[in-house]
């Protein structure tokens, strides 16, 4: 824990106490084993190390960053941390960052372009080494700007153009859902497709739509509607989808929360989710399994996505060429998806 209370211990504290020069102490403490051997005698190395942790020495990161032009900081932008999906991804990022000795700044942008700009500027002002965006918009304008300014970054959760990203294979996820619903006999499915600018929703929808088309059952446009990624969003969207002479026999919501909203909307119309209408979500958030009506959903490796995203950024910062990763989703069948009535 270090015995110091007021005076911060610096390299000089140690150097003076040992009659050495700060540069020597710096080399001893900083360099890897191979280096420190030629920096000082084994005996000196030992004395320096011992005193350093006796005093609880911790290098001043501001001084280091100033000198090295490397902050060991990364900025993370997400739509909302109170969305458990992004929160979990961020947990992965933070975990991996800590392992690498990096720290992260995270900020919400609410998917608002202006906030994206101002928050990015703030974060860059803090001299981060790189950034991770969890709120990429399909139109890619903002990210093009950032790339143009030479800031290294990677994307998580959503893809955009060919910026490096770590995502779930959302398209495949959509296909898995289609396979499942086809198998259950559903010929008429509606999609709560999420925000139109999010690749997650776009790709999940595309996967399902393509698979249905391949099965000879093209999904008409009026069966697809956009929505927010939350409960009220899913509720409203589903209400719209049900406002038709013949309601669909299955609803695919591209997000678990939207799916919960969908269940609510169904109930409101006197339809029983899981019996009259199959409902499938996406992400397998912890709640899905524990709902009164356990939710069929697609598990996406959120924590892993965050971890890999950070490691990809690190490789990028080291100058390596990186390639986008697409993680494998997995269908989890539960009670909410019933066979076609």
Q: Is 293 in the site for a second copy (CB under 8 A)?
A: yes
Pick between residue 109 and residue 200 the one whose CB is nearest to a second copy: 109
Length of the chain: 341
Q: Which residues of 91-119 are buried (b: 16+ CB within 10 A; e: fewer)?
A: ebbbebbeeeebebebbbbebeeebbeeb
Q: Which partner in DNA, a second copy, none is near 22 (CB below 5 to 8 A by kind)? A: DNA
Q: Contact between 144 and a second copy (CB under 8 A)? A: no
Please answer whether residues 338 and 275 qualify as being in contact, where contact means their C-beta atoms are separated by less than 8 angstroms.
yes
39 binds DNA (CB under 7 A): yes
Site for DNA, residues 61 to 100, rule: CB under 7 A: 63-64, 66-69
Q: Two tokens at 198?
A: 């999010």
The option from a second copy, DNA, none interacting with 11 (CB < 5 to 8 A, set by class) reads DNA
Regarding 122 and contact with DNA (CB under 7 A), the answer is no
Min separation Cβ 62 and DNA, Å = 7
User: Choosing among a second copy, DNA, none, which partner's interface includes residue 51 (Cβ < 5 to 8 Å by kind)?
Assistant: none
Which alpha helices (DSSP H) does 100-162 contain, by range?
113-125, 141-148
24 binds DNA (CB under 7 A): yes
CA distance 117 to 75: 13
Q: Which is nearer to DNA, 101 or 245 (CB)?
A: 101
Helix or strand (DSSP H, E) at 68: helix 61-68
Q: In 147-201, which ranges are E strands?
A: 153-156, 165-168, 189-192
CB of 18 to DNA, least distance (A): 8
Binding flag, residue 19, DNA (CB under 7 A): yes
Among 23, 61, 214, 215, binds a second copy (CB under 8 A): 61
Q: Which of residues 48-67 bind DNA (CB under 7 A)?
A: 57, 59-60, 63-64, 66-67
As given in the structure block, the two tokens for residue 323 are 């390639």
Backbone angles phi, psi at 252, to 5 degrees: -105, 115
21 binds, among a second copy, DNA, none (CB under 5 to 8 A by kind): DNA
Binding mask 196-235 for a second copy (x = CB under 8 A): ----------------------------------xxx--x
Interaction between residue 127 and a second copy (CB under 8 A) = yes
Q: Residue 313 in 3-state DSSP?
A: helix
- With a CB cutoff of 8 Å and minimum separation 6, the contacts of 81 are 87, 90, 106, 108
Q: Which of 51/107 has CB closer to a second copy? A: 107
Spatial separation of the C-alpha atoms in residues 32 and 73, rounded to whole Å = 21
**What pairing do the DSSP bridges indicate for beta strands 325-327 and 297-299?**
unpaired
Map tokens 């993680």 to a residue: 327
The single-letter DSSP state of residue 8 is: P
Output the smallest distance, CB 229 to a second copy, in A: 12
Spell out, one character per residue from 9 to 28, where the chain touches a second copy: x when CB under 8 A holds, - when not.
--------------------
# binding residues, DNA (CB under 7 A):
30
Considering CB distances under 5 to 8 angstroms, the limit depending on partner class, which of a second copy, DNA, none binds residue 272?
A: none
The answer to whether residue 63 forms part of the interface with a second copy (CB under 8 A) is yes
74, with CB counted inside 10 A (0-12, 13-18, 19+), is: buried
Radius of gyration of the chain (CA): 26
Which residues face 277 on adjacent strands?
273
Q: Return residues touching a second copy (CB under 8 A).
A: 1, 5-6, 58-63, 65-66, 71, 80-82, 84, 87-88, 90-91, 94-95, 98, 103-108, 119, 122, 124-127, 145, 149-150, 230-232, 235, 260-261, 263-264, 267, 286-287, 290-293
């Amino acid at each position: 824990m270090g015995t110091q209370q007021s005076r911060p211990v610096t390299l000089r504290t140690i150097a003076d106490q040992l009659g050495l020069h700060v540069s020597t102490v710096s080399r001893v403490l900083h360099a890897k084993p191979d280096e420190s051997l030629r920096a000082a005698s084994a005996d000196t190395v030992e004395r320096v190390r011992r005193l350093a942790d006796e005093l609880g020495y911790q290098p001043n990161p501001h001084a280091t960053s100033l000198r090295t032009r490397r902050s060991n900081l990364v900025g993370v932008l997400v739509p909302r941390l109170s969305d458990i999906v992004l929160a979990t991804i961020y947990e992965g990022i933070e975990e991996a960052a800590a392992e690498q000795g990096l720290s992260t700044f995270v900020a919400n942008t609410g998917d608002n372009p202006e906030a994206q700009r101002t928050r990015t500027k703030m974060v860059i002002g803090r001299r981060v080494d790189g950034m991770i965006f969890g709120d990429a918009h399909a139109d890619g304008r903002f990210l093009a700007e950032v790339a143009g300014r030479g800031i290294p970054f990677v994307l998580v959760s959503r893809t955009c153009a060919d910026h490096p990203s770590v995502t779930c294979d959302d398209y495949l996820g959509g296909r898995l859902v289609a396979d499942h619903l086809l198998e259950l006999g559903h010929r008429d499915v509606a999609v709560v497709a999420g925000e139109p600018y999010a690749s997650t929703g776009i790709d999940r929808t595309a996967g399902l739509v393509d698979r249905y088309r391949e099965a000879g059952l093209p999904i008409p446009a009026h069966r697809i509607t956009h929505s927010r990624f939350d409960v009220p969003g899913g509720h409203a969207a589903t209400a719209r989808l049900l406002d038709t002479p013949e309601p669909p026999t299955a609803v695919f919501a591209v997000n678990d929360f939207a799916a919960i909203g969908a269940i609510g909307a169904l109930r409101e119309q006197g339809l029983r989710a899981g019996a009259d209408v199959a409902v499938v979500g996406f992400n397998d958030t912890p709640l899905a399994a524990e709902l009164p009506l356990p939710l069929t959903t697609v598990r996406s490796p959120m924590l892993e996505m965050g971890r890999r995203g950070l490691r990809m950024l690190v490789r990028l910062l080291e100058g390596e060429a990186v390639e986008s990763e697409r993680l494998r989703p997995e269908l989890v069948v539960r009670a909410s998806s019933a066979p076609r009535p």
